[in-house]
Amino acid sequence: MSYRLKNEILEISIAAKGAELTSIKDSSGKEYLWQGDEKYWGRQSPILFPFVGRLKNQEFTYEGKKYHIMQHGFARDMEFVVIEEKENEIWFEIRDNEETLKMYPFHFALRIGYRLSGNKIEVLWEVENTGDKTMYFNIGAHPGFNCPIDGEADKVGYSLEYNSKGNPKYFGADYDTGLRLSELHELKLENGRSIITKEYFDTTTYIFEDNQISEVSLVKPNGKKIVTVKFDMPILAIWSKERADAPFVCLEPWYGRCDRMEFEGDLADRECNIVLEAGKKFNNVYSIELG
């Protein structure tokens, strides 16, 4: 089932499956969100929970037991229920069940909200620890945006604009395992922007850690901003399908990330964990602005 929010500037659609944003249109009907194509990537804006990226060997150990879980967790494939709906705002929820407990041994409620305000979409997250023990998790966003957006042959010449102080540093991800590599690179910017080339996404996901960036824009070759994503999270990832010249770019605020190639340890030892005590709630929000 699909739900819609609309104001004088924006119209968005959200699927109950995964509480996933599936369309962002302006008042002229122009589509900004990637519409999914299995040739490149079949999703559009999945919610990453309870983990972001891949765990080493796609498993973790908790209280002496191993659990197997897929990349980016299970929330993106679950059917959410609507728990609140207003003119410009809607909230979805899932809770743990017998199947999730086989992969992730914690009781939780995950609530995802969408709110329209002018040219801005706010995406709101709430995670509640409904169990009686400390919970470890990640949560992240993965929206993909059409690029090119105005009929150009490809995205070469588009750019990414960051609000970092100087040239930001990034880690890559291993193409085969999806795990974070250890070498730190510097992204050279010119007037705050990095221009997309033909090979820009051939080798890696760009993973910027340590709160270096809180705002990123996708920019047309003529300098006009298409979308801007704003957030208060420690990590930003930039991705497009590797070695495919795919016509989209993902701008991904993350609270957590994939394991390092060298990681060894139990669940509680993972870097970038959110640690949530029994009965407590975690809240965060990011926004997508057109133009």
Q: What is the pLDDT of residues 81-132, one digit of tens each?
A: 999 999 999 999 999 999 999 999 999 999 999 999 999 999 999 999 999 9
Domain presence at residue 47 = yes
Residues 127-185: pLDDT tens digits?
A: 999 999 999 999 999 999 999 999 999 999 999 999 999 999 999 999 899 999 999 99
Q: What is the CATH number of the domain that holds 88?
A: 2.70.98.10
CA dist 94 and 88 (Å) reads 21
Task: Show Cβ contacts of residue 67 under 8 Å, excluding neighbours closer than 6 positions.
Answer: 59, 60, 61, 102, 103, 104, 105
Q: Is the dihedral of CA 149, 153, 156, 157 positive or negative?
A: negative
Run of H or E residues at 103: helix 98-103
Residue 109 lies in a domain: yes
Res 91: pLDDT? 98
The pLDDT value given to residue 131: 98
pLDDT at 291 over 90: no
Q: Which two tokens stand for residue 121?
A: 């979409």
Whole-angstrom CA distances from 184 to 24, 126, 206 are 34, 32, 10
CA distance 1 to 27: 23
251 assigned to some structural domain: yes
Task: Confirm whether 182 is domain-assigned.
Answer: no
Question: What is the reported pLDDT for 214?
Answer: 98
Range of the domain at 275: 2-151+235-290
The two three-digit tokens of residue 2, written as one number: 């699909």
Residue 219 belongs to a domain: no
**Residue 71 within any structural domain of the chain:** yes
- Mean pLDDT, the chain, rounded, equals 97
35 in a domain, yes or no?
A: yes
Please state the rounded mean pLDDT for residues 217-243: 97
Q: Is the dihedral of CA 45, 47, 51, 52 positive or negative?
A: positive
* Helix or strand holding residue 239 (H, E): strand 235-239
Span 22-27, average pLDDT: 98
Asked, for residue 225, whether it belongs to a domain, the answer is no
Number of structural domains in the chain: 1
Phi, psi angles (nearest 5°) of residue 221: -55, -25
